Amino acid sequence: MLAKTLFHKIWDSHCVKQIGDTEDLIYIDMHLLHEINTPQAFDRLRETNRTVRRPDLTIATEDHNTPTRSVATLESDEVRRRQVDLLRRNCSEFDIPLFQLGEPGQGITHVIAPEQGLVLPGTTLVCCDSHTTTHGAFAALAFGIGTSQVEHVLATQTLRFQKFKSMRVTVENHLPEHVSSKDLALSIIRHLGTGGGIGHVIEYAGSAIQSLSMEARMTLCNMSVEAGASAGIIGVDETTIDYLRKVYKSNGQSLAEEEIDRWRTYVSDSDAIFDQEIVIDGATIQESVTWGTNPSQTIGFHERIPSCADYDDPSQKQAAKRALEYMNLQPGQSLYDVSINKVFVGSCTNGRIEDLRIVAGILDGRSVHPDVHMVIVPGSTQVRDLAIREGLDEVFQKAGADFRHLPGCSMCCGLNEDSMRKGQRSVSTSNRNYEGRQGTEAMTHIASPSIAAASAITGRISRVSDL
Amino acid sequence: MGRERIQGYGMPLVQNNVDTDQIIPARFCYQPKRVGHGESLFGNWRQDPSFVLHDPRYSDATILVAGREFATGSSREYAVWAIKDYGFQVVIAQSFGDIFYKNAIINDLLPLKTTEQGIESLWDALHDNPKSAIHIDLENEVIRFEGGTSPAMMDLHFKKKYILNLDDISLTLEDVGNIDTYEAARSPHLATTLNRVEVR
Ligand code: SF4
């Protein structure tokens, strides 16, 4: 039999029909929805007298624009309330299960789907959100789609797609101490550029990847889209299986041993051929922070803010010039020279319990710098409840951090009341540092949870080893 | 003239890596409709009076000419709706973000790829003569403009879909029998959302 990559195994087993030479009709095992990007799909369903084919393979949550302090805030905000209401109405009309703000189980789509046991090896999963790539950590083929495709999945439980290309990024050796999968993701994006992965599914492999926890793998797959990739994916190993066993157990679901055997087949065959191969030495990866306005504009602590002259490519030169202006930085500055006034810990990239534990470990016995407002938003009610059970909330409170009780995207996309003001500068554990992403004319430095915590304490971009 | 030939005036957006957060910033994406987003196009950048959208010489443009990696980032279809609502029918770029490309095709906004050299020549031509027409010939896969030509690159099946103006969902529903068959053979162990868990 022909050797296959993991991606091809999933694609081929989900191909309902080949259409013409290039397009395939692909079956979708799981469809996630949220309040933004979906109302137009339901409107069109009604207009065309169609219905939702498989509400039992569809789930919705409220996350993007929702408040993080109190449910009552939503009531008083007309625009956001209307978006959430539309989702509630559409879900009830079409019998789609929905997690409403504050209900047990609610949270960011990409945090709750794995908690619910909805992401399984060898399956396909889509959502109207580009960071759907997160779920590739479970050896699932997961990618973001637009509103019209949401309508297509709702009506047919399939998608028409051209087969992606495959790329393998092998990370050998181990990451140095304090270097997280976020640093690895930023380094890979820096290497590939924001467009390097366009049209590809990136499979992450190698010893450094195998030693990552599931949370860390989700962070890495989450950021794949920042290199332009359609999806990120990691083959099944014992870490995957242990994690899923725990999920099944805590959800009271039974798990057949033959299922686990089937899951184990979701790895690339050893002689499978990829369209592109990249090998990275994990030991060379350093703690990294973005200085610019796209996630490839990243440097380590031993480097200096670059100048336009450091780039040969004219378009990168131009991008650097614009980014330096927007970020109000001077070439040659060190990261340590950059003072900040906001820190955000959260998002589908780093809003999981492991991230909160790391942050609490650093804040314990220390205080947030008086000039810094540090906001910590759990990715789900489960993350929040675990954090409280473990006493992390008390650590946060004592250190002077602002721990929120309602989960959601919050400062990641600046769609709720937590958005930043003009001229504010953050270290943020989210995934995008685009102009205006966290608020109009606000400046964002993307980094790992440990850098975020260390920076909150010193008031300037810092590492734990600097404390 | 069929859908294989399009002509119009161009607007040069002389920039690479224009992400969807710039095309329509998230805070403008609150209207739950597909139309009415033209005023939000480049919501932040258009605060700047010198931004190309305000240049009266390009006010009749229906073809946006951008650089490479146009519309990467967020999956928001608003990016396509805003560009269309503003009056563009075509975006020419060296490359596109995956999700945007697909969204554009579905929404009848024509995303055309061409070479870096082609983009630069188009920018130059539009700079020298803003009112020089651009002719797109999908059949022969060429873009013609004052002082040059450049390849019009488009995936074959997208091209066909665009020319024949076909609707994806209707096409797929013709294959509903295949979907039924596939579904009947799915493993019973796969997850469903019926028993959502109140994880604590
Ligand atoms: S946390 Fe940020 S990146 Fe993740 S789904 Fe929400 S808005 Fe998107």
Which among B21, B173, B175 has CB closest to A434?
B21
Element (H, E) at A16: strand A15-19
Complex prediction ipTM: 0.92
Token pair for A321: 């010039």
What count of Cα atoms within 13 Å lies in the side-chain half-sphere of residue B141?
11
* pLDDT 10s digits, A196-205: 999 999 999 9
Query: Which atom of ligand 1 lies at the shortest distance from residue A349's CA?
Result: 4
CATH T-level assignment (fold) for domain A289-466: Aconitase; domain 3 (3.30.499)
The domain locations on chain A are 1-286, 289-466
Task: In whole angstroms, give the CA distance from residue A448 to residue A434.
Answer: 17
Provide the token pair at B132: 């020089």
B40 contacts: CB under 8 Å, gap ≥ 6: B24, B25, B28, B29, B78, B82
A228 to B30: CB separation less than 8 angstroms, yes or no: no
Q: Is A411 in the pocket of ligand 1 (CB under 6 A)?
A: no
User: Which of A29, A252, A419 has the CB atom closest to B190's CB atom?
Assistant: A29
Q: Which residue has the tokens 């250190």?
A: A399
Q: Given CB atoms, is B153 within the 8 Å cutoff of chain A? A: no
Of all protein residues, the one whose alpha carbon is nearest to atom 2 of ligand 1 is A412
Q: A409 CB under 6 A from ligand 1?
A: yes
CA–CA dist B157, B162 (Å, integer): 9
With a cut of 50, list the residues of chain B below it in pLDDT: 1
Query: CB-based contact (8 Å) between B140 and chain A?
Result: no
- Determine whether the shortest distance from the Cβ of A458 to ligand 1 is under 6 A: no
Does B22 reach chain A within 8 Å, measured CB to CB?
yes
Q: Report the alpha-carbon distance of residue A361 to residue A321 in Å, rounded.
A: 38
Which DSSP helix (H) or strand (E) runs through A129? none
CATH code of the region A1-286? 3.30.499.10
* A212-240 pLDDT tens trace: 999 999 999 999 999 999 999 999 999 99
Same fold, A1-286 and A289-466: yes
Burial category of A276 from C-beta neighbours within 10 Å (exposed 0-12, middle 13-18, buried 19 and up): middle
B21: contact with A, CB 8 A cutoff: yes
Q: How far is the CA of B50 from the centre of ligand 1 (A)?
A: 32
Walk me through the domains of chain B, giving residue ranges and CATH numbers: 5-166 (3.20.19.10)
* Residues B65-74: tens digit of each pLDDT: 999 999 998 8
In this structure, what are the phi and psi dihedrals at residue A113, rounded to the nearest 5 degrees? Answer: -60, -45
Q: How far apart, in whole angstroms, are the C-alpha atoms of residue A290 and residue A303? A: 12
Q: Using a CB-CB distance cutoff of 8 angstroms, which residues of chain A are in contact with residue B29?
A: 36-37
CA contacts within 13 A on the Cβ side of A417: 16
- Test mutation, A25, A86, A109, A434, chain B, max B CBs within 10 A: A434
pLDDT for the residue numbered B1: 42
What is the total residue count of chain A? Answer: 467
The whole-angstrom separation of Cα A210 and Cα A205 is 7
Cα B125–chain centre separation:
22
Q: Nearest C-alpha of chain B: how many angstroms from A369?
A: 30
Strands A141-144 and B148-151, bridge-based pairing: unpaired
What's CA B50's distance to the chain center, in Å?
24
Rounded distance between C-alpha atoms, residue B166 and residue B106, angstroms:
9
Kindly state if the Cβ of A430 falls inside 6 Å of ligand 1.
yes
Q: Which of A263, A156, A231, A24 is nearest to B187 (CA)?
A: A263
Strand, coil or helix: A80:
helix
Using CB atoms, pick whichever of A123, A294, A382 lies closest to residue B200.
A382
- A112: Cβ below 6 Å to ligand 1? no
Phi, psi of A245 (to 5 degrees): -55, -45
Nearest CA in chain B to A387: B200
What's the whole-model pTM score? 0.90
Question: Is-contact A141 A11, C-beta < 8 A?
Answer: yes
Strands B5-12 and A425-428 come out as unpaired
pLDDT in tens, chain A (467 residues): 789 999 999 999 999 999 877 789 999 999 999 998 899 999 999 999 999 999 999 999 999 999 999 999 888 888 899 999 999 999 999 999 999 999 999 999 999 999 999 999 999 999 999 999 999 999 999 999 999 999 999 999 999 998 999 999 999 999 999 999 999 999 999 999 999 999 999 999 999 999 999 999 999 999 999 999 999 999 999 999 999 999 999 999 889 999 999 999 999 999 999 999 999 999 999 999 999 999 999 999 999 999 999 998 888 888 999 999 999 999 999 999 999 999 999 999 999 999 999 999 999 999 999 999 999 999 999 999 999 999 999 999 999 999 999 999 999 998 898 999 999 999 999 999 999 999 999 999 999 999 999 999 999 999 999 99
Question: Strand pairing of A231-233 and A158-162?
Answer: unpaired
In angstroms, what is the span from residue B171 Cα to ligand 1's centroid? 32
User: Distance between alpha carbon A305 and the CA centroid of its chain, in Å?
Assistant: 26
pLDDT at residue A153, as a whole number: 98
State the Cα angle at A164 between B136 and B182, rounded to 5°. 110
Three-state SS across chain B?
CCCCEEEEEEEECCCCCCCHHHHCCHHHCCCCCCCCCHHHCCCCHHHCCCCHHHCHHHCCEEEEECCCCECCCCCCCHHHHHHHHHCCCEEEECCECHHHHHHHHHCCCEEEECCHHHHHHHHHHHHHCCCCEEEEECCCCEEEECCEEEECECCHHHHHHHHHCCCHHHHHHCCHHHHHHHHHCCCCCCCCCCCCCCCC
Q: Are A123 and A29 in contact (CB under 8 A)?
A: yes
State in Å: Cα A413 to ligand 1 middle.
6
Q: Which residue has the tokens 């393979």?
A: A57
